[in-house]
Amino acid sequence: MLEKLERLAESYSKLKDAGESSRVDLARLAVSIVDSISSPSFAFPVSRESLSDAGTTSYTYEGNATYPALFDFLGELLHSKVPLEVEGAKFGPGEILVSKPNQADAEIELALSTKELQKLVHARRSEIFTKHAGAASP
C-alpha cells in the first residue's frame, strides 16, 4: 500500500511543480493520499525485526523500502519537519523510531502513534482540497 502512496506522492510533487493548470488533479491526488492514510485498515508495513538501543526501538519498512515523496507530502500537509514526531514515535521515510526500549511496549506505542498520525492527516483533508481546488471537498 505504501508503494502506491509513494507513487501518488511523486505524481503530486510533479504536478505541484507544473503550475496552475493542474490544481484539481493536485487536489484529487492529495485527497486520495489522505483518504488512504485515514482508512481504518491503514498500517505501516514494518519489518518483523526491530532494533532496540538506548531506550528507542527502531523499525524499518518491509524490504528496506523508503518513501521520501510520501513523507515530503505528509510534512507539507502537517506543516512539520520530517521525521514526523507524533506522540512517542518519529515517522520517517526509511524508518520509524519509537521511544520505548521494550518491543511489546514499542508495538503498542507504534499503534497508538499511527492512529494519532491518521487523525492529524484526516483533519487536514478539507484544507488541502480547498488549497488546491479552491472548493470544498466532495
pLDDT digits (tens, 9 = 90+) for 58-117: 999 999 999 999 999 999 999 999 999 999 999 999 999 999 989 999 999 999 999 999
For 100-133, letters b (16+ CB in 10 Å) and e give: beeeeebbebbeebbeebbebbeebbeebbeebb
C-alpha cell at 61: 519498512
Domain boundaries, the chain: 2-133
> Under a CB-based contact definition with an 8 Å cutoff, are residues 2 and 93 in contact?
no
pLDDT digits (tens, 9 = 90+) for 35-72: 999 999 999 999 988 999 989 999 999 999 999 999 99
pTM: 0.91
